[in-house]
Amino acid sequence: MRAIGTRLYLPATDPECFVDFEMPVPEPAARDLLVRVKAVSVNPVDTKVRAGITNELEMPRVLGWDAAGVVEQVGAEVSLFKPGDEVWYAGSITRPGCNSELHLVDERIVGRKPAALSWEQTAALPLTTITAWEALFDRLAILSERDAGKTVLIIGGAGGVGSIATQLASKVADLKVIATASRDETIQWCLDMGSQQCINHHLDLKQELERIDTPEVDYILCFNDTDQYFATMAEIIRPQGAICSIVGNRQPLNLDLLKSKSATFAWEFMFTRAMYETDDMLRQHALLNEVAELVDEGVIRSTMTRSLGPLSAESLRAAHAEVETGSMIGKLVLSGIDTHNI
């Protein structure tokens, strides 16, 4: 089968950054699905993994952790899916990625594809949806029946995770959402996603919140520079509030800033359950199915904003280059490898 991989970190502008190559079709293990990939998306994790390949590999590494496709074959212990099922998932960072014709993934982290979306619209969602859902409902432990009407600040509202987190927070958790955005187009996007108000993350966040008569917030989702915003987050979080970040710190965080408020700080890493095969790994299957229902009911929409066409070394380079700008709105996607143009 054809796959797109990388042997060594090179800038996304380098023609050798990615290579098209042939590899054997993998055999599904006990709970694996062999999926024919119909569309993929690119996330910051892809560019970070690529940047970490500092010694040249003999076999190219296949990246990609956002896919939608059709089940072709199942492992001996699979019970949730059958050949022909349409699915969506992010996968596991400890296994080869989905930038290939066919891809293996554990059924416990796979969901039923939303019927209302195209392959490309679907591929924009899995990784960011799992991240946002786990951040809101697992790490911050939000319950809509208890916490409805409370306020969440989303730092980085127009990005991939921010876009779906805004929808889930406003339409599922029934929270008041304040998103950060700085350009006219990103402000409008955040409002379209369900944010009630927007503030500028290039300005002092405390002053920005005071400007809209909200000096403190109950929850904060940090989808940008944790080091830059940590001290401010400690100032603006309400006593006994909770903060969740997905962006790793480069320097020690002073957790003592949260002590007097008895405030909680949590990390969210959506690969944790698959990496460690936790007892509750099946929760990702369940949440993807639940979000698929919300999509089909018209509650949640795709965050896809652009398609770069069929997956190839060239289109994947372009996708990585765009993600690395750090200024994307929503998600960009690629359709599956064009097997008729080999």
Class of domain 2-125+281-335: alpha beta
**Residue 78: left (phi > 0), alpha (psi -120 to 50), or beta?**
beta
Token pair in block for residue 296 = 């089909």
Q: Give the bridge partners for 63, in sequence order.
A: none
State the amino acid at position 181 in one-letter form. A
pLDDT for residue 339: 77
Residue ranges per domain, the chain?
Answer: 2-125+281-335, 128-267
Give Cβ neighbours of residue 331 (< 8 Å, ≥ 6 apart): 41, 124, 125, 128, 160, 163, 303, 304, 305
Token pair in block for residue 271 = 């690969």
- pLDDT tens digits, 267-324: 999 999 999 999 999 999 999 999 999 999 999 999 999 999 999 999 999 999 999 9
Token pair in block for residue 294 = 């919300």
Give Cβ neighbours of residue 313 (< 8 Å, ≥ 6 apart): 4, 17, 18, 19, 20
pLDDT for residue 163: 98
For residues 94 and 268, give the distance between their C-alpha atoms in angstroms, rounded to a whole number. 17
For residues 238 and 248, give the distance between their C-alpha atoms in angstroms, rounded to a whole number. 23
Beta strands in the chain (DSSP E): 2-5, 19-22, 32-41, 67-74, 86-89, 102-106, 110-112, 151-155, 176-180, 197-199, 217-222, 237-245, 264-267, 304-310, 331-335
128-267: CATH architecture: 3-Layer(aba) Sandwich (3.40)
Count other C-beta atoms under 10 Å from residue 30's C-beta.
11
pLDDT for residue 338: 86
pLDDT for residue 341: 60
**Segments in the chain below pLDDT 50:** none
